[in-house]
Amino acid sequence: MNASGKVWLIGAGPGDVELLTLKAVRALGEADVVLIDDLVSRDVLQFAKPHARVIEVGKRGGCRSTPQAFIERKMLQLAREGFIVARVKGGDPFIFGRGGEEVETLSRAGIAVEVVNGITAGTGVPAALGIPVTHRDYCRGVTFITGNARAGAELDWAALASSGTTLVIYMGLANLAGIAGGLLAAGMPGCTLVAVIQNGTLPSQRSVVSPLAGVVDAVAHAGLASPALVVVGDVVKFASREAVQEMRKQA
């Protein structure tokens, strides 16, 4: 324990422990206490101190989650007691990870905090299937979206459908029918390719590639479950041969 505590906000990447950064490994090795999210591979704990305290602060869509307010209070308490705290999140802390909220809370309280970027699922998971989220011949860029928007925050489907960008949708499986319906109603062609990837970068990774018009049925037939990422756009044509074969099985 140190006279003055500190919090590391660590992005653990999309799942595969080998995608953890060197800086994340170093920060984990300094921590007295590790607060670890549910979606983070427990393999990362091999880099923590042998006697570091590990606190589970699970957050998984559709399941009971540790309240965000509790997590923030626990980080404040531990840091004020002089501990070095590693708050370990899946992906990147600043991309749909509430990292900005946590930095704000800690900084306001005068607690030293440092962010360790991680590979976000929005780039790491498509890459595991061979999908480049940007490609100069097929899109003008990439748009990251959460499918788990707060109540009342309706997405602008028309803007998204006409953006000319690859759409990468986090936490979108539960609302896949609404997402597909919104894009189709906004004029996106039904033949637009969609990849839905479960447990991306892990040995248990599964995926479906389907035209937008049939993606809901294809995913239901395959039995995919959360956590899953949805990628929409012409770049999906680069998906690995295994994923395309899965699409043909569902056809």
- Cα→Cα distances 25→13, 49, 52, 110, 114, Å: 12, 11, 14, 25, 14
For residue 27, give the 3-state DSSP assignment: helix
111: phi then psi, degrees, rounded to nearest 5? -90, 135
Q: Residue 37 catalytic?
A: yes
Q: Which of 6, 16, 32, 59 is catalytic?
A: 59
Long-range pairs, 219-225, Cβ under 8 A, ≥24: 219/173, 219/176, 221/250, 222/246, 222/250, 224/173, 224/196, 224/198, 225/173, 225/198
Q: Which of these is catalytic: 75, 171, 188, 247?
A: 171
The H or E element containing residue 105 is helix 99-108
Beta bridge partners of 86: 8, 34
Contact (CB, 8 A) for 20 and 119: no
* 237: annotated active-site residue: no
Does residue 43 carry a catalytic annotation? no
Catalytic option among 37, 75, 92, 247 = 37
List active site positions.
37, 59, 171
